[in-house]
Amino acid sequence: MNFLIGTTSLEATATDLLAVGVKQGEVAQALQGLDAAFGNKLSETLAADEFEGKAGSGKAYPTFGHVAAKRILFVGIGDGSPSGLAKAAGRVGSIARDHGVTQLALHLGRVPAKDLSLVVEAIQEGNYRFDKYKPEKERKPALDTVVLLGTEKPVDGFGKASAVAAGQSLARDLINEPAGVIYPETLAAQAQALASGRIRVTVWDEKKIVAEGMGGIAGVGQGSERPPRFVHMTYTPPGTPRAKLCIIGKGVTFDSGGLSLKTSAGMMTMRCDMSGSAAVIGTMRALKEIEPDVEVHGIFGAVENMPSGTSYKLGDVLKMYSGKTVEIHNTDAEGRLVLADCLHYATKLGVDATVDLATLTGACVVALGEEVAGLFTPDDTLAASLQGAAARASEQIWRMPLPESYKEKIKGEWGSIKNVGGPDGGAITAALFLAEFAGDRPWAHLDIAGPAFYDKAHGHLAAGGTGVMVRTLVEWITTP
């Protein structure tokens, strides 16, 4: 997708779709010379359609030759905040794809340079569709060229925003692929495909995983005919790194629940249970282009959680990579076992901070809904850094508590710890479980179970994987 800066007036801009941003309650101001070109009927039409400029709202009309554009779209930017601009840009991208528009001109006013990248990312986010399995006649073309009107080109161009958008789209593609296409071996291959330049990738097969003592990854994966993989990606910057960071993703490529079998409905979208690892791969793909001055380690364990005669069982005690032992009280609480081995591996890398992300608990969805990720960390500085990055990236996270007293819920009888803590506070006890393996360096856990995947279109996002947290992670890594 090519982004250009345009200088023509709204009336004279020749394009398939002209999109005009409108602040809430300021419809007349946004129309500029357009209303006169339409015989002063636009303002009447928008008023009749009750369009007021609410963030993400939109109304589209044919132009009938009154202006150079073929169609015109008015989109609300709310109060003009970064969030409002992102919602508007995302909606424009989505409407453009629905109509098969390849040429777009967008006027959102004089967008601050710091927010222009967010607009570029959001347009591509809204324009995304996963339609490779649809008949060709049902596929709508993606945007090819976007002309941004009424603003200045950022000094560093659109390179970073395009890299982030490409990383997010890669993550969404991986999530949306059927489990018969993306499984442990092929997910690892997707990471290996990035291995060039400043990215190197190490992959352990099932024999190496067992030999190294990664009992969590091996235990969860042993019920599947498709064996597990452990993946370590490393980005090395030019020059001396100002920091060393680690991101870890849950990579359960399909989650049946194991012997604690899910219902058919609960299993239907469980190809998305590798959304954390997809975000790691997408982030590393973006960093490869951006080349920040930070050393970054991207880690994930890839497994299928399947029921069979070789599956790990209720009552089993797994010996983890850290040496701790875990009682299995529910085989559907598998992601934390995989992450635990990855977290302990990260403690050996000498990094300054580690962030893991996972579609970990339904309890977090109950607590925060489907749009907000839960943030768990005992480190106030890391929490503030991630919250700031998420705000700049227009993604939503909310810090959750980690009460020490809840550790009693996961105290083991036969082993060091058990893998579930009962029906109450499930997102918290899952995070406390992970904390047992995170070491003494700053660590945070992001539970993305709500916003990682939508069963149907949600706002400007198409149904399926969202690639959530790619933007936040890149912002966190690249901002000093």
Active site residues: 262, 336
Kindly state the tokens that stand for 356. Answer: 């893991």
Q: Are the beta carbons of 206 and 270 closer than 8 angstroms?
A: no
DSSP state string for 230-263: EEEEEE--SSS-S-EEEEEEEEEEEE--TTSPPP
Kindly state the tokens that stand for 458. Answer: 């949600």
The amino acid that residue 400 corresponds to is M
Distances (CA, A) of 191 to 199, 251, 290, 426: 10, 12, 17, 31
**What is the rounded CA–CA span in Å between residue 188 and residue 173?**
15
- Give the contacts of 299 (CB within 8 A, at least 6 positions apart): 230, 231, 232, 233, 246, 247, 248, 249, 280, 342, 345, 346
**What is the rounded CA–CA span in Å between residue 298 and residue 275?**
14
Report which of 396, 458, 402, 449 is spatially closest to residue 425, judged by C-alpha positions.
402
**What is the rounded CA–CA span in Å between residue 67 and residue 70?**
8
DSSP state string for 183-223: SHHHHHHHHHTT-STTEEEEEE-HHHHHHHT-HHHHHHHTT
| Residue 283 C-beta-side C-alpha neighbours within 13 Å | 35
- Give the contacts of 225 (CB within 8 A, at least 6 positions apart): 306, 308
